[in-house]
Amino acid sequence: MAFDENYFRTHTYKDVSFARFSQYWWSNRFYAHLARHYGRTGRLLEIGSGLGHLVGQLEGRFETFATDINAWALVQSKPVTRHTPHSLASAEELPFRDGVFDIVIIKHVVEHLLHPERAIAELGRILAPGGTLILSAPNLSSV
């Protein structure tokens, strides 16, 4: 199935609370903690960055980069990711050089892909030797 930008724009975040102490807030705080604890410093990429709340928390600590398949989400993320370059790209075909990132975060993305094996290969390609991968796939039966 093709990516439906209209659905994303109108439905995906419809009932999500972004308030402090919401599930969304705690989730981003958790992944930011993992990045700070295991990644320490360096170049960080969030794949599927959505509205940018996670990567925005990591600006300043890391040299941050964000990518998403949805142009609307990347535009919406700019107010919270002022110092982060954004790329419109699929996790299955990333526009980055080999071994360029020290930390890669990809959460709740892989299980939605038609070819998750391509994304996994791309993660290995762009991650620097000894780098940190933070991957979350809550629906493992779809991978």
Q: pLDDT tens for the chain, 143 residues: list them.
A: 455 666 555 566 666 667 777 777 889 999 999 999 998 789 999 999 999 999 999 999 999 999 999 888 899 899 999 999 999 999 999 999 999 999 999 998 998 888 999 999 999 999 999 999 999 988 766 65
Backbone angles phi, psi at 85, to 5 degrees: -70, 140
Q: Sign of the C-alpha dihedral, residues 94, 99, 101, 103?
A: positive
The total number of residues shown for the chain amounts to: 143
pLDDT at 1: 44
**Cβ(49)–Cβ(74) under 8 Å?**
yes
pLDDT for position 25: 83
The reply to whether the predicted model has a pTM over 0.85 is: yes
